[in-house]
A = this chain, B = another copy of it.
Amino acid sequence: MIKASVLGATGYAGQEIVRILSMHPQVEIAGLGSQSYAGQSYSYVYPHFRNILDKTCKSPQDPEVIADADVVFLALPHGLSSSLAEEILQQGKKVIDLGADFRLNSQKTYQAWYKAEPPSQELLQKAVYGISELNRDRIKVSSLIANPGCYPTSIILGLAPLLREKIIDTQFIIIDSKSGVSGAGRKVALGSHYSEVNEDIKVYGLPRHRHTPEIEQELSLLGEEDIKVSFTPHLIPMTRGMLSTIYTKPKAAIKINDVIKLYQDFYHHEPFIRVLPEGEYPHTKYVLSTNCCDIGLSWDERTGRLIIITVIDNLVKGAAGQAVQNMNMMFGLEEDIGLNKIAVYP
């Protein structure tokens, strides 16, 4: 059994990690760290855990939370993971960080977008960007994972086959993403207040949402050239789910079935990626509560544009699920163990 601790266990991403790990046949929860709820039982904070996980939350600073674990998941606001990760690694344990601290290779870029001190260059070099399907080999041997953001996950998976095959004009990538409200976390704010959000849609983060450099870094690596994108996130009135509509321009006219074939081959054998046949497009509901990313493709010959639509559950493949998928790899387990769920529907 792998012993896992979660720091930031009472936020939504933290809760989702705890939820998945509690049903994982090869994992035992070692410790739960929570700034806000230290000293209280987990099932008091989240009553759906009653009789399932009544363990007491500890302060994130409590050394036991780390000492008892083989792997520590960090689900903390950005800026807090850096020193913690160093300490955990020094104890010979593995770290999976769901925050932004280790996602950007460049300290300068991190400073520019987050207005905060980046981790040391040494630590950054240890970190592997944890987009499971694309960085599998490096994830398996890493002890520090920078788990991707939800938006970047939905976008990178949607564009990877095109960029690897150098099919599209990399100067023309427009990404219009829509997210459920849980992505904003459990911290109360007017922007997540029921009566403000219900029956409403808005853009936010314009023109420079913080996930942009992460998206551009990974797309540039895939495409082997410097890529800039337009990225516009929207908030829509639902709790979970994320859909990204990605507009691209192939260098030459394509046949939609060839592109679908390309995607199917690229993601062949992937347990969590489903490429849809021609004329079918994904719904977020099809992946709700699962680690799946469904991808649909549409070619508009009138305009010469290829549109990619991807959906994920922002808290699963966009956060906790991918983190556990990475943990499975790091510990040599079957990649889908604890994650082979069917979407809750309707």
* Interface residues in chain A, defined as those with a beta carbon under 8 Å from any beta carbon in chain B: 12, 15, 19, 22-23, 46-52, 174, 176, 178, 180-182, 186, 188-190, 192-204, 206-208, 228-230, 232, 234, 236-241, 243, 245, 247, 274, 276, 280-290, 294, 296, 298-300, 302-303, 305, 307, 309, 311, 340-346
Contacts and interface: CB of A to CB of B under 8 A. Distances in A.
Given A50-B286, A229-B303, A303-B229, A239 B199 contact: yes
Contacts of A51: 274
Given A194-B192, A287-B48, A342-B48, A241 B178 contact: no
Nearest to A46: B345
A300 to B, nearest CB: 4
Given A281-B204, A298-B207, A309-B203, A193 B195 contact: no
Within the oligomer, what is the number of copies of this chain?
4
Contact of A232 (B19, B195, B238, B245): B245
B342 A202 contact: no
A243 B284 contact: no
Given A194-B194, A201-B283, A237-B238, 17 more contacts: A12-B346, A19-B344, A22-B342, A47-B276, A50-B276, A50-B294, A176-B247, A182-B195, A188-B189, A194-B239, A199-B285, A200-B283, A207-B299, A207-B302, A208-B300, A208-B302, A240-B346
A287 B247 CA distance: 28
B19 A285 contact: no
Contacts of A22: 342
A318 to B, nearest CB: 14
Contact of A300 (B207, B298, B302): B207
